[in-house]
Structure 1
Amino acid sequence: MSAVEQFRSFLIIGADEGTGKEKDENRIQLLKMNNDGSCAVADSILLMKGEGKELDVEGICAEGDQVYVVGSHSSNRKKIDEDSSWKENRESFHQDKIEAEASRDWLFRLRLNDAGKVIAKDRISLRKIIRNDPALKVFCGIPSKENGVDIEGLAVKDGWLHVGFRGPVFRGNYVPVLKLRWEEPEQYELLYVRLGGRGIRDIAAVSDGFLILAGPGGSGSESYQIYHWNGKDTVPGKDRKTKDQGKLRLLGEIPMPDENSKAEGLAVLEEREDSWQLVIAYDGAKDQNRLLQRVSLRKKKD
């Protein structure tokens, strides 16, 4: 499980592996939230079919009747295989072993009714934007787990999509967030946040900004943390006014259900005066009952 979002009385979940019952299908699932706090699968939504490999769903967000789903837009290198020969494993580091998977290069917009049924579906790719951006383009051919381009977070606020990157992490520990509107994606702005060397694992909109779920950029052992971000660029400059400065506050570290778990998704169920009620989605949890956890996170005053 790699993404989670609330829509009406549903939780929408997505996976970064697997393509549904049919190998050429990419789907997200709707879970019905019951009054006792439990969830049950209510339906699934087909995103695309017959396009080869997986979409690699990494972010889901919703505003009004619109739901957005993003793939990682990443390149891949296969892992070392102990059952392969020494020569084959060494050759896996060669440039020609990097795979650019076009099936991951999609951002979907779905219009749903109150029952969770799809009324309309569109999609665009962010690949051209990334390839032409002066900061991001050099990382396009680098595998995602080696500080290459890797989208993992998605939030929407007042019609503005905020696409969070797990990688690249730039010098000074700056991580990019791509801010754009669906209707004019090429009129974008690239913002930067600093997460102590971590990348963005998910991002969610709140009343006064965003919550960022931060974790290891690669396969490192850094802890998982939640930050509050005011939504503004954090790069300093002597000519920047105080009111324009980006601000980040560390709210706390996330305890893992077990040593194999990775916090991958974040959804805001409710915002209260003194706290946020959240759902965190975990990938790799041994206990299937702990793939989703409800968390109460207290707000911190400036």
Structure 2
Amino acid sequence: MRDGLSGLAGAGDSLWLACDETLTVERVDRRRIRPPLFAGHVSFKLEDFIRIPGGPHAEADLEDLDIASGYLWLVGSHAASRKMPDAAQSSRKVAKALARVERPASRCLLARIPMVETDGTQQLRRRAGHGGRKRVAGRLEDGPGGNALTAALRGDEHFREALAMPGKENGLDIEGLAVVGDRVLLGLRGPVFNAWAAIVEIEPRPARDHPSLLRLAHIGHGRKLYRKHFLPLDGLGIRGLARQGLDLLVLAGPTAAIDGPARVYRWIGGARSDVQRRVRPGNVIPVMELPVGRGNDRPEAIVVVPSRDGRDRLLVVYERAARSRYLGAHGVVADLFVLPA
């Protein structure tokens, strides 16, 4: 699991993690302040809370997490993939395999699960109460091509062609998640348009007749089911999102599965943006460059960690962690960076 960490979210002394190879979410709790140590690993099966498209043994390709209003939110990549041929096969069979592009239904997952605190620890529940209202675990309803989101994007001028392409070939590939009030911001690793990356904003709401299903609400003046925001990220795609106050921190990296630059940008006011418009370059500024290994240590997920000294830190976990990061039989070392004021 330590080689496949893909999503992070923090609440109090607990850290929640996702792995892109499992249908579980993980919780670890802070044990020591300096240096920070998270232990006491607890795993939660998603099938205990929501129905998994494709069944409990399918691949969800979980990519990011966030916590808001008493819910743990999670998102799958929604990405298609191309059949990998066997090099020993005939050229005809290789060509046939390369023409196969599939989007597993299990990857088209956007869900939220109620969180509660029991005996000082955070737990997940299928149903819970919060602030005088009931909360129910739910996921975005199914739709053509996957779910309601992929159905809504099928006719979009920017995304209709990307839906037909594999995620790692500049096709649709969701890797970032940030929840602000009723709004859910989805950061796309692909497609990237010239030097611009995209964030899709939606407002999923529980269906009146079926609260465990989320439906897309119409938003904005155009009464569409989504908004689009385009960020100038120097040709990089979005690999993760994290809220910091009213700003949105954006982890950016290559769209392909290659070594390449990894940077954190700040979208000033991004956590309160409520109009569909081209983001002004002056509102998206580089914050820091992150280290990248050779064939390993590719920054994959971020979360903001508040500090007692008033200087927020950024916790970063890596895809394909280098062996030098291994800690015991199952642990892994993450990086903690001080965020510039």
Given the two structures, how large is their TM-score scaled by the length of structure 1?
0.85
Q: Deviation of residue 218 (structure 1)?
A: 1.1
Q: 1:250 aligns with which of 286, 292, 303?
A: 286
Q: 1:9 aligns with which of 13, 21, 28?
A: 13
Are the equivalent residues in 2 in contact too, given 1:234–1:247 (CA < 8 A)?
A: no
Match of 2:170 in 1: 147
Instruction: State the distance in 2 between where 1:87 and 1:294 align.
Output: 47
State how many pairs are aligned.
Answer: 283
Are the equivalent residues in 2 in contact too, given 1:199–1:217 (CA < 8 A)?
A: yes
Residue ranges of structure 2 left out of the alignment (5+ in a row): 128-136, 141-146, 206-215, 220-225
Q: Deviation of residue 185 (structure 1)?
A: 4.1
Instruction: State the distance in 2 between where 1:80 and 1:251 align.
Output: 41
Q: Deviation of residue 235 (structure 1)?
A: 2.3
SS at match of 2:164: coil
Instruction: State the distance in 2 between where 1:34 and 1:83 align.
Output: 51
Q: 2:64 aligns with which of 40, 49, 59?
A: 59
Match of 1:117 in 2: 123
Matched to 2:11, the amino acid is F
Are the equivalent residues in 1 in contact too, given 2:17–2:26 (CA < 8 A)?
A: yes
Q: Deviation of residue 7 (structure 1)?
A: 2.3
| Farther-moved stretch of structure 1 (34-43 vs 54-63) | 34-43
Q: Deviation of residue 276 (structure 1)?
A: 2.4
Instruction: State the distance in 2 between where 1:40 and 1:75 align.
Output: 34
Instruction: State the distance in 1 between where 2:45 and 2:248 align.
Output: 29
Matched to 1:159, the amino acid is D
Match of 2:134 in 1: none
Match of 1:204 in 2: 242
Instruction: State the distance in 1 between where 2:296 and 2:304 align.
Output: 24
Match of 1:296 in 2: 337
Deviations 1:78-118 (A, max 9, x none): 33544555543343322xx1112111111011111123222
| Farther-moved stretch of structure 1 (61-70 vs 175-184) | 175-184
Deviations 1:262-282 (A, max 9, x none): 111111111678742121111
Match of 1:89 in 2: 94
Given the two structures, how large is their TM-score scaled by the length of structure 2?
0.75
SS at match of 2:84: coil
Instruction: State the distance in 1 between where 2:64 and 2:107 align.
Output: 12
Matched to 1:101, the amino acid is P
Are the equivalent residues in 2 in contact too, given 1:269–1:278 (CA < 8 A)?
A: yes
Matched, 1:263 2:267: no
Matched, 1:74 2:79: yes
Cα distance change, pair 14–273 in 1 and its aligned pair in 2 (3 A): same
Q: How does 1:110-259 map to 2 (within 5 A)?
A: 110-114=113-117, 115-119=121-125, 120=127, 121-124=137-140, 125=147, 126-171=149-194, 173-183=195-205, 184-187=216-219, 188-230=226-268, 231=270, 232=273, 235=278, 247-256=283-292, 259=295
CA RMSD of aligned residues (A): 2.4
Q: Deviation of residue 129 (structure 1)?
A: 2.3
Matched to 2:12, the amino acid is R
Cα distance change, pair 246–155 in 1 and its aligned pair in 2 (3 A): farther
Matched to 2:79, the amino acid is S
Cα distance change, pair 159–291 in 1 and its aligned pair in 2 (3 A): farther
